Amino acid sequence: MTSDPLSARPDIDPALFREVAGRFATGVAIVTTVVDGEDHAMTVNAFTSVSLEPLLVLFCAEKVARFHDVVLDTGRWAVSILPDDMRDASEWFATRGRALDGQLQGWPHTRGPATGAATFTGAIATLECRTHAVHDGGDHSIVVGEVLALETPAPHAAPLIYYKGEYRSL
Residue 60 has phi, psi (to 5 degrees) of -110, 135
Contact status, residue 168 vs residue 90, Cβ threshold 8 Å: no
Contact status, residue 162 vs residue 26, Cβ threshold 8 Å: yes
What fold does the segment set 28-164 form as a domain? Pnp Oxidase; Chain A (2.30.110)
pLDDT in tens, 55-88: 999 999 999 999 999 999 999 999 999 999 999 9
The average confidence (pLDDT) of the chain is: 93
Average pLDDT over residues 103-127: 96
Q: Where are the domains of the chain?
A: 28-164
Whether the pTM exceeds 0.85: the reply is yes
Confidence of residue 5 (pLDDT cuts 50, 70, 90): low
